[in-house]
Structure 1
Amino acid sequence: MLTIEELKNKSSQYLNDKKSIAIQLSKDILAEPETGYKEFKTNKKIYDVLKSLDLEIVNNLAITGLMTTIHGAKPGPHIAVIGELDGLPVPGHPFSDKDTNAAHACGHHIQIGNMLATLFALNSEEILNNLSGSISFIAVPSEEYVEIEWRNEQRSKGEFEFLGGKQELVKLGIFDDIDISMMTHARGNFSGFGYGGTGNGLVAKFIEFHGKSSHAGGDPHLGINALNAANLSISNIHANRETFYDDHHIRVHPIITLGGSVVNQVPEIVTLETFVRGASLEAIKNANLKVDNCLRAGAMAVGAEVEITTLPGYFPLFHDSNLQEIYKKNLQNTENKSSELDHGGGSTDMGDLAHLMPVIHPYVGGATDASAHTAGFIVEDYELAVVEAGKMMAFTIIDLLYDGASTGKEIISKHTPRLSKSEYLKTMREFSNVEIANYNIG
Structure 2
Amino acid sequence: MTTTTKQALKRSVCAAIDRNAERIIALGERIRRQPELGFKEFKTARLAEETFGELGLKPRAGLAITGVRADVAGAKDGPTFAMLGELDGLVVQGHPIADPETGAAHACGHNAQMAGLLGAAMGLLEAGAPAHLAGRLVFFAVPAEEYGDVEWRVEQARARRIEFLGGKPELLRLGHFDDVDLAMMIHTTSQPEMKKAGVAASNNGCIVKTVRYIGRASHAGGAPHMGVNALYAANIALMAINALRETFRDEDSIRVHPIITHGGSQVNVIPAEVRLETYVRGRTVEAILEANRKVDRALRAGAMALGAQVEIETLPGYLPLFNHMGMAEMFKANAAALLGADQVTESGHRSGSTDMGDISHVMPTLHPYMGGAVGAGHGADYAIADPRLAYVEPAKQLALMAIDLLWEDAAAAREILKTWEPRMTREEYLAFQRGISRTERYEA
Q: TM-score range by the shorter chain?
A: over 0.9
Task: Tell me the CA shift for residue 328 of structure 1.
Answer: 1.5
Task: Tell me the CA shift for residue 125 of structure 1.
Answer: 6.7
| 8 Å contact from structure 2 (residues 81, 138) kept in 1 | yes
Pick from 419, 433, 442: which aligns with 1:437? Answer: 442
Q: Please, which runs of 5 or more residues in structure 2 have no aligned partner?
A: none
| 1:76 equivalent in structure 2 | 78
Pick from 362, 365, 379: which aligns with 1:356? Answer: 362
Task: Tell me the CA shift for residue 215 of structure 1.
Answer: 0.8
In 1: Cα distance, 2:313 partner to 2:36 partner? 26
In 2: Cα distance, 1:205 partner to 1:158 partner? 19
Letter of the 1:62 counterpart: A
Find the residue that maps to 2:68 and give its secondary structure: strand
| 1:367 equivalent in structure 2 | 373
Find the residue that maps to 1:93 and give its secondary structure: coil
Pick from 332, 336, 344: which aligns with 1:338? Answer: 344
Superposed CA deviations along residues 195-247 of structure 1, whole A, max 9, x for unmatched, are 13211100111000000111111111111111111000001101111111101
| 8 Å contact from structure 2 (residues 196, 339) kept in 1 | no
Superposed CA deviations along residues 252-304 of structure 1, whole A, max 9, x for unmatched, are 01111111111111110011111000000000000000000000111011110
| 1:405 equivalent in structure 2 | 410
| 1:148 equivalent in structure 2 | 150
| 1:64 equivalent in structure 2 | 66
Find the residue that maps to 1:94 and give its secondary structure: coil
Instruction: Map 1:85-100 onto structure 2 (within 5 A).
Output: 85-100=87-102
| 8 Å contact from structure 1 (residues 201, 314) kept in 2 | yes
Find the residue that maps to 1:313 and give its secondary structure: strand
Matching of residue 228 in structure 1 with residue 232 in structure 2: yes
| 1:428 equivalent in structure 2 | 433
Instruction: Map 1:107-126 onto structure 2 (within 5 A).
Output: 107-124=109-126, 126=128
Pick from 250, 255, 275: which aligns with 1:251? Answer: 255
| 1:390 equivalent in structure 2 | 395
Superposed CA deviations along residues 97-125 of structure 1, whole A, max 9, x for unmatched, are 11111000000001000011111121147
Instruction: Map 1:214-293 onto structure 2 (within 5 A).
Output: 214-293=218-297
| 1:302 equivalent in structure 2 | 306
Matching of residue 178 in structure 1 with residue 180 in structure 2: yes
Letter of the 1:148 counterpart: V
| 1:29 equivalent in structure 2 | 31
Letter of the 2:312 counterpart: I
Pick from 33, 38, 41: which aligns with 2:40? Answer: 38
* 1:376–1:138 CA distance, 2 compared to 1 (3 A): same
| 8 Å contact from structure 1 (residues 202, 275) kept in 2 | yes
Letter of the 1:392 counterpart: Q
Matching of residue 318 in structure 1 with residue 325 in structure 2: no
In 2: Cα distance, 1:18 partner to 1:365 partner? 20
Superposed CA deviations along residues 355-396 of structure 1, whole A, max 9, x for unmatched, are 00001000011111x221001110121211121111112111
The worse-fitting range, judged by mean Cα deviation, of 202-211 and 384-393 is 384-393
In 2: Cα distance, 1:332 partner to 1:19 partner? 20
* 1:111–1:422 CA distance, 2 compared to 1 (3 A): same
Task: Tell me the CA shift for residue 342 of structure 1.
Answer: 2.4
In 2: Cα distance, 1:47 partner to 1:394 partner? 19
Matching of residue 209 in structure 1 with residue 207 in structure 2: no
| 1:160 equivalent in structure 2 | 162
The worse-fitting range, judged by mean Cα deviation, of 354-363 and 332-341 is 332-341
**Identical aligned residues as a percent:** 46
Task: Tell me the CA shift for residue 329 of structure 1.
Answer: 1.4
Provide runs of 4+ in structure 1 moved above 4 Å. none
Task: Tell me the CA shift for residue 319 of structure 1.
Answer: 0.6
* 1:42–1:126 CA distance, 2 compared to 1 (3 A): closer
In 2: Cα distance, 1:126 partner to 1:272 partner? 52
Letter of the 1:26 counterpart: G
| 8 Å contact from structure 1 (residues 196, 360) kept in 2 | no
| 8 Å contact from structure 1 (residues 25, 46) kept in 2 | no
Find the residue that maps to 1:60 and give its secondary structure: strand
Letter of the 2:174 counterpart: L
| 8 Å contact from structure 2 (residues 9, 127) kept in 1 | no
| 8 Å contact from structure 1 (residues 320, 415) kept in 2 | no
In 1: Cα distance, 2:418 partner to 2:22 partner? 38
| 8 Å contact from structure 2 (residues 13, 127) kept in 1 | no
Q: Please, which runs of 5 or more residues in structure 1 have no aligned partner?
A: none
| 8 Å contact from structure 2 (residues 48, 118) kept in 1 | no
Task: Tell me the CA shift for residue 334 of structure 1.
Answer: 2.1
In 1: Cα distance, 2:85 partner to 2:339 partner? 25
